[in-house]
Amino acid sequence: MERYSGKFLSRKLDHSTFGKIINRIPLVYFIILIEAFANRIEELLYKATIAFADSTAVSTGIYEARIHKGKEIKARKDYKLHILAGYFPEYCLTYIKTALGTDKHTSDAEGLVQMLDRIIEWLCYMLADRGYDAEKVHEAIVRKKMVDIVKRKKHISKMASYRSITEKFFNSNLYKEIRGIIETIFGGLENKGLLKTRLRNPSTIYKYSVAVAINHNHRTSILAGLISSLRYFFETLCVNQIYLKGY
């Protein structure tokens, strides 16, 4: 940001100035930006009919003293990036519908419920692993008109709950075939070194986590634009050929 500030502003700004500005920006602004990218991708292609939920660790260089089995140890202080993503199988393309940055004590189920609260109804298959097998998650999925494909834990629910009602929708073949796709998002971010940070302020780390997800959507939006342009080109070409053959 410091390098390119002179091209957009009347003078060059120091990187510390950008750091102070980012500290004043609310986290929700970062989330709104990633959702704006997602909406743009859906306008260029379509609203995905397959959705995933998962989380990954955002590592820091901060260590804190803890008591483990009666002994004091130093443990690394990590955070989490939660994502709700869509998938276009014909293009092998993924995008992040919304995201959330939290500390590592926020459960996957709670993170997904908060993300689902931010979206409107989404007619799609909702895939997630056993970490999301919670009653509040199944209820939130049903309320958003999604097909519940959440991997179940071993215990059997005998109550007339959302979990028991949606259990009949679980498709093990679909889950096994598609579930691993979401790891490509985290794998790409990990290969770029974006899931590690030297930041120390928790609120800034939350923003950084969501900014990492914005990075993925930015690249996906460029690809979606290229796909949309090529599709329009070939459709126009086919129409012209049919028109010429008519003569």
Q: What is the mean pLDDT of residues 140-169?
A: 83
Does 20 score more than 70 pLDDT?
Answer: yes
Q: Lowest mean pLDDT of 38-52, 139-153, 225-239, name the range.
A: 225-239
Does 243 score more than 60 pLDDT?
Answer: no
Whole-number Cα distances in Å, 49 to 95, 96, 121, 122, 194: 12, 13, 12, 8, 28
At 121 the three-state DSSP class reads coil
Per-residue model confidence (pLDDT) at position 76: 81
- Split at pLDDT 50, 70, 90, the class of 159 is low
Q: Which residues of 61-75 are buried (b: 16+ CB within 10 A; e: fewer)?
A: ebeeeeeeeeeeeee
Q: What is the mean pLDDT of residues 178-198?
A: 90
Per-residue model confidence (pLDDT) at position 163: 84
Strand blocks (E) in the chain:
50-58, 63-68, 71-76, 79-88, 93-103, 125-128, 147-150
Q: Lowest mean pLDDT of 103-117, 176-190, 203-217, name the range.
A: 176-190
- Residues 105-149: pLDDT tens digits? 899 999 999 999 999 999 999 999 999 999 999 999 999 999 999
Does 75 score more than 80 pLDDT?
Answer: no
d(CA 93, CA 220): 7
Q: Is the dihedral of CA 15, 59, 105, 67 positive or negative?
A: negative
Per-residue model confidence (pLDDT) at position 113: 96
Assigned token pair, 162: 């959302």
- Split at pLDDT 50, 70, 90, the class of 245 is low
Per-residue model confidence (pLDDT) at position 67: 76
